[in-house]
Amino acid sequence: MRLKLAQYNGKRRRFEGTFERFGVKAGYKGPLKTLVLLNVVDVYTREEVCDHLWFTVGKQLDRLDLKEGELIRFYARVTQYLKGYVHRGEDNREVDYRLSYPTKFAKPILVKANRNWAEQHLIDDSIPYIALKRVIENGEDRVSDSLIQTGEVKKNK
């Protein structure tokens, strides 16, 4: 059960996951292409919300030309559904949570960075503190735009 998603039930959020592989499922008019994302995290909190997630591949996902291990960023609404089955009067269903109505699929862009660049943006306040902290403290030389665009603000505000 995806309990971490329960707190966002009914809300639209931004998520990010790592593309693993394509798959196929049966559809009414023939087979449908699917894909699985691993380690799906809430971009705003950086908290992992589920270990994997399957999506049907539509036009947006097909255009991304995905390779194994690439990050995908998207918006989706958290909804609940009944998981399980009913057999001969025995009800084995339980409420679980999923990501519905996904939109705006994109690959995060990595921005080249260095300590001077990060310190300058700390001064002018144009990039969230958490993204800059990784460059300054950990010596990272790239910052994902998903960190830059999370809407987080500096802690001292």
119 in the same domain as 55: no
Query: What domain count does the chain have?
Result: 2
**Which residue range(s) make up the domain with 74?**
3-106
127 in the same domain as 87: no
102 in the same domain as 43: yes
One DSSP character per residue, the chain reads --HHHHTTTT-EEEEEEEEEEEEEE--TTS-EEEEEEEEEEETTT--EEEEEEEEE--HHHHHT---TT-EEEEEEEEEEEEES-EETTEE--EEEEEEEEEEEEEPPPEEE--HHHHHHHHHHT-S-HHHHHHHHHH--SEEEHHHHTS----TT-
Instruction: Yes or no: say if 64 and 87 are a contact pair by the CB < 8 Å rule.
Output: no
13 in the same domain as 49: yes
Judged by DSSP in three states, 97 sits in: strand
59 in the same domain as 47: yes
pTM of the model: 0.67
What is the structure's pLDDT at 56? 92
Q: How far apart are CA 2 and CA 49, in angstroms?
A: 7
Condensed to tens digits (0 to 9), the pLDDT of residues 100-150 reads 999 989 887 655 555 565 555 544 444 555 555 555 565 555 555 444 444
Establish if 154 belongs to a structural domain.
Answer: no
For residue 145, count CB atoms less than 10 angstroms from its CB and return exposed for 0-12, middle for 13-18, buried for 19 or more. middle
Establish if 50 belongs to a structural domain.
Answer: yes
101 in the same domain as 136: no
Establish if 155 belongs to a structural domain.
Answer: no
115 in the same domain as 49: no
What is the structure's pLDDT at 152? 39
Condensed to tens digits (0 to 9), the pLDDT of residues 61-75 reads 888 889 898 888 899
> What is the residue type of 52?
H
CATH of the domain at 24: 2.40.50
